[in-house]
């Protein structure tokens, strides 16, 4: 199989779909890998590194999309890239289709076989290809939140950990999953007063066992969120419903009650955000202010630490990339229900139920679509 790795073109996106060791594994299995010139530079990987691993360097993205049987990316294809996709071509990347009708329509029209990292599952019910980026985004959230709290950035001028005689900032984390747990780890390490909110009793027990008295845990109700949002210096939203748009747990009215200069970091923005006043921003223009509250809503947060993110991502995507290359899409999808759960759009049909529901589109089961 010919596998194409185009350079990412999303604003300040420095990650890359494959690293040299992944290329070497694919080449060893008899496949050809086409990497666009300069695709890995943002993650500290040179064209020479790819050539040494057995890849061919291609100058243009047009040629890669035209020649490759499978495209391996990191972020969802932008409109100009979606026009290059063709019927029967495999697209393996993050898609986040539930809040993005335009992309969904374009992928339907392309006829491509579109497999989303974020809905591939595992035997224990987790999302293994989303986990490393959730870990990175969670760990980044207190870091960017602390920076946004600085007065020069429009924040309250509060130091997250405080100093002797001056209290630490109050950090409220909505969601105790992977991102929320990692956000709590860093926020606690920075000396903040941390509260994690979740509706799962099991998640709250796990957090209490992990952190002890270093954090407070609160069961999620509207009343609890209202109170905690009002008190927060830094609010971090990490709520996830796999494949679906994030629920709006924080209303505009709640945002109006927040302290002037407080900060919201909406990690859930890839799936539409869990705060009513959130809209996606970029690394070049990461924040905006609503009712005196600074919003940080960068849709590709892990791109800021591209090398760490790229290598972490490849650690989990490579087995699936190899399966698709070695077996072809049909056999790979038939043999592995977890990879099949990643199938979002197949030759014009929406095969992910939450995406279909989000956009009012017909839903076809993946098994039916691929002819099992």
Tens digit of each residue's pLDDT (9 = 90 or more) over 191-240: 999 999 999 999 999 999 999 999 999 999 999 999 999 999 999 999 98
How far is 338 from 350, CA to CA, in rounded Å? 17
Whether the CA torsion 71, 77, 83, 88 is positive or negative: it is positive
Burial (0-12, 13-18, 19+ Cβ within 10 Å), 93 = buried
What percent of the chain has a predicted confidence (pLDDT) above 70?
A: 100
Q: What is the pLDDT of residues 323-336, one digit of tens each?
A: 999 999 999 999 99
Q: What is the pLDDT of residue 57?
A: 98
Distances (CA, A) of 116 to 120, 121, 137, 313: 7, 11, 18, 13
pTM: 0.89
Mean pLDDT, to the nearest integer, of 48-54? Answer: 98
- Banded model confidence at residue 241, pLDDT cuts 50, 70, 90: confident
The catalytically annotated residue of 96, 106, 182, 233 is 96
The catalytically annotated residue of 100, 266, 270, 336 is 270
100 carries an active-site annotation: no
270 carries an active-site annotation: yes
Three-state SS string across 282-349, please? ECCECEEEECCEEEECECCHHHHHHHHHHHHHHHHHHHHHHHHHHHHHHHHHHHCHHHHCCEEEECCE
Longest dimension (CA), the chain: 67
- Banded model confidence at residue 302, pLDDT cuts 50, 70, 90: very high
């Amino acid at each position: 199989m010919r596998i194409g790795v185009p350079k990412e073109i999303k604003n300040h996106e420095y990650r890359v779909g494959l690293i040299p060791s992944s290329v070497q594994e694919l080449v060893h299995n008899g496949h050809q890998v086409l990497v666009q010139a300069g695709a890995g530079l943002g993650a500290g990987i040179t064209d020479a590194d790819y050539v040494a691993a057995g890849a061919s360097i291609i100058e243009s993205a047009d040629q890669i999309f035209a020649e490759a049987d499978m495209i391996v990316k990191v972020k969802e294809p932008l409109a100009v890239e979606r026009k290059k996709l063709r019927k029967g071509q495999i697209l393996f990347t993050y898609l986040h289709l539930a809040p993005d009708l335009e992309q969904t329509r374009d992928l339907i029209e392309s006829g491509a076989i579109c497999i989303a990292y974020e809905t591939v599952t595992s035997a224990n019910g987790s999302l293994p290809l989303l986990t490393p980026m959730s870990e990175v985004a969670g760990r980044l959230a207190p870091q960017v939140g602390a920076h946004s709290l600085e007065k020069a950035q429009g924040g309250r001028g509060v130091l997250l950990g405080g100093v002797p005689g001056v209290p630490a900032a109050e950090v409220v984390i909505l969601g105790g999953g992977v991102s929320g747990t990692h956000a709590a780890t860093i926020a606690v390490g920075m000396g903040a007063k941390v509260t994690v909110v979740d509706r799962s009793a099991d998640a709250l027990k796990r957090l209490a066992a992990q952190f002890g008295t270093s954090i407070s845990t609160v069961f999620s109700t509207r009343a609890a969120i209202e109170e905690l949002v009002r008190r927060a210096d830094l609010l971090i939203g990490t709520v996830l419903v796999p494949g679906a748009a994030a629920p709006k747990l924080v209303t505009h009215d709640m945002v109006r009650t927040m302290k002037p200069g407080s900060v919201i970091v909406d990690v859930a923005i890839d799936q539409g955000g869990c705060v009513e006043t959130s809209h996606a921003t970029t690394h070049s223009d990461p924040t905006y202010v609503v009712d005196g509250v600074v919003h940080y809503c960068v849709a590709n947060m892990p791109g800021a630490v591209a090398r760490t993110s790229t290598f972490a991502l490849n650690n989990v995507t490579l087995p699936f990339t190899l399966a698709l290359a070695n077996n072809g899409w049909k056999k790979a999808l038939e043999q592995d229900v977890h990879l099949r759960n990643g199938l979002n759009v197949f030759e014009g049909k929406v095969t992910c139920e939450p995406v279909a529901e989000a956009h009012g589109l017909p839903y076809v089961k993946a098994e039916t679509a691929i002819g099992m």
